[in-house]
Amino acid sequence: MHRLVPLVFLLMLAPRLAGSADAAGDPRAGQALYLRVGCYECHGTVGQGGIAGARIVPLPLPWLGFRVYVRRPAGQMPAFSDQVLSDAELADIFAFLATVPQGRGPGDIPLLEARAPVTSLKNGKDVYAAVCASCHDGGIGGAPKIRDKAAWSARLAEGMGLLYLHSLKGYTGKFGVMPARGGRADLPTELVKQGVDYMVSVSN
């Protein structure tokens, strides 16, 4: 716990420290150093992180905090003293990391399947698979399990209008908890209803 205190303190001061020290290092020299002294081994060659080290692009700390942290890290990172890495060398590494482009977000990478695009959902069955199944397959949060006639007949007794309303606006009550539109705010009303119709058709 005591190791986290300097980090927390620095993060609180980060906005004030950000512009307060001269960290003018050489990014080119910094990249060579980053590879030579082994920062890439845990943090990756573009600071993307992984199981062995945190993501450090974009830089999570301003210059002063970065310098303090490398000398006295909080986690599994070894400490690099100024005997093995001078302030000037650290400044070069910092400058290099500041120039590494952040790259695309998950929403811009189709292979990451951040969520099935609405345009790919053609009918109620598609909506079910992409949105509803995660809870209605297993009855999570009290969700009536698909094909469970007894569970669905209790809901149907209250009428389709109320079913649509709960699916669109969300529900918290005696049956359980459901987020509005199954947690997909981008799902058009018509598709939500088609998802409900599909579940009712196979569960009734």
Partner 1 sequence: MDVYSTGRPGADFMVDVLKSLDFEYVCANPGSSFRGLHESLVNYGGNRRPELITCCHEESSVAMAHGYAKIEGKPLLVMAHGTVGLQHASMAIYNAFADRVPVYILLGNIQDATWRRGDVEWAHSVQDAAAMVRDYIKWDDNPVSLAHFAESAVRAYRAALTPPYEPVVIVADAVLQEEPMSASDARAARIPKLGIPSPPAGDSAAVEDAARRLVMAEQPLIVCGRSARTPAGIGLVVELAETLQAPVQDRHFRMNFPTRHPLAGGSIGDADVILALEVGDLWMATHSQTPLNRFGMASQSITKPGASLISIASCDLYGKSNYQDFGRYCEVDLSIAADAEATLPALIEACKRLISPRRRSALKERGAQLAQTSRRRRDRDLELAAAGWDASPISTARVSMELWNQIKHEDWSLVSETVPFFSGWPLRLWDMTKAHHYLGGHGAYGIGYGAPAAVGAALANRRHGRLTVNIQCDGDLNYAPSVLWTAAHHRIPILNIMHNNRAYHQELMFLTDMAARANRGIDTARIGTGIDDPNIDYATLAKAYGIFSIGPVSDPNELGPAIKRAIEVVKRGEPALVDVITQPR
Site residues (vs partner 1, CB under 8 A)? 36-38, 40-42, 44-53, 55, 57, 75-76, 78-81, 83-85, 103-106, 109, 111-112, 114, 134-135, 138-142, 172, 174-179, 183
17 or 171: whose CB is closer to partner 1? 171
Q: How many CB atoms lie within 10 A of CB 80?
A: 19
- Nearest approach in angstroms of CB 16 to partner 1 is 27
Distance CA 139, CA 137 (A): 6
User: Which residue, 135 or 146, has its beta carbon nearer to partner 1?
Assistant: 135
180 token code pair: 């509005």
- Look at residue 69 and give its three-state secondary structure: helix
**Residue 171 host element (H or E):** strand 171-173
Query: Which residue number, 21 or 114, has a Cβ lying nearer to partner 1?
Result: 114
Both tokens of 51, joined, read 């199981």
Give whole-number Cα distances, 179 to 90, 134, 195, in Å. 48, 12, 14
Nearer to partner 1, 104 or 119 (CB): 104
- Nearest approach, Cβ of residue 96 and partner 1 (Å): 14
